[in-house]
Structure 1
Amino acid sequence: MDENTNKAIFTLMQKVVDKLETISKDVSSKDQTELENIIKKTNVQITKLVPEVIKLQSKLLQNSLDTKDEIVDFIKENTDTPVINNHTEYNLIGSKSHFRSWVIGVFFLGLVTVWCSIKYLPAYFTENSLLNKEKEEYELFYEYVSLKQFKEGEINIADEILKKIKQKDSLFIKEYRTLSNTYKREIRKQELKEELNSLDNNDR
């Protein structure tokens, strides 16, 4: 509140009170006509003072409202809104962990097992499938040769060869390696001849 405004209001009110006291004193000493004149004169003076009092009261009210707004703004600026943190931490390892060590061990073991299964099982099944296919083909070949020789009344060479393989006959294995090397050399010679013929044809 403005101190000058308070003083002005106080001064005006004091003047009004003083004037009323003067009127009260004069009432007893003067006649009715003079009293009426004094009252009229006083009324005129009071009427002049009333707008000033109203103006000062309005100013005082406005100052009060401004002060209230300043207080509200100050409270808003200096009041921190409490921050509520709903974040919850979970520890996987340690004394605060919700899981026991053996549970974590089983979990990681399961992960490793699944990872190995994903990585190695497809290759294993593919290889196993190829081996089964080759096994079926060799069995079919063996049975065909055996049945063919049986039909023609010849000695069953397939049975003899299988017997030597099971016994790991050294002579048979040596003969097999010699035949295999000879076969590979002949195949390579044939490939080289075909390559030379191809080059000759290109030169022409």
Structure 2
Amino acid sequence: MTQPPLQHPLVLAAMADARRWCTGHLIEERPAFRHTVAVARTVLEHGGTSPELLAAALMHDAPDLAPGDLDLPAYLATAYGPVTNRLVTALHQEHVALNEPDPTVDVSDPELVLLSTADKVVAFRGNLSRADLTGDRPAYFGAKTAMVRLLPYFHEFQRAGVGLVPAALSTALADSLLQVDAAIAERLP
């Protein structure tokens, strides 16, 4: 009998590490562990069933959350294997690049594109939900200047990922981006 992906020992170990490292941290104003689990579930829902990919989804924010004295690449490579280490490292590099003036879209690694798209969908859906709670989406997104500055990048990333990720996931990102665009447009004179 085949083991369910979320019950694989590698995934369970990643879940334990993620829970430990996320404790006390927030991502997008919510508990960090909630975010990592949502990304892993989104990856799984869209066909990402390999234990290494699911472990990477759970560990994708580890570079920012793991203890500072931990040699994270060595730990990830030893505990989770080279695929998980490569994906976590590459997604972290993408996150860091978003702080640069003109980040480059790279869709050369299909597993990374799936993971990154899932991360973006979870983040944008979370922001849309929080915007709805304020009752004023335009004001909410108007205050998110870093996100708004990156909207062209996110649109380019979504278009470049078409055909590389399942259509439903690509559409989920496109729909989220269009909702943010609409909220921003409401603020324009």
RCO (CA 8 Å, sep 6+): is it higher in 1 or 2? 2
TM-score by length of structure 2 reads 0.22
Q: Which of structures 1 and 2 has the bigger CA Rg?
A: 1
TM-score by length of structure 1 reads 0.21
Task: Name the one with the larger helix percent.
Answer: 1
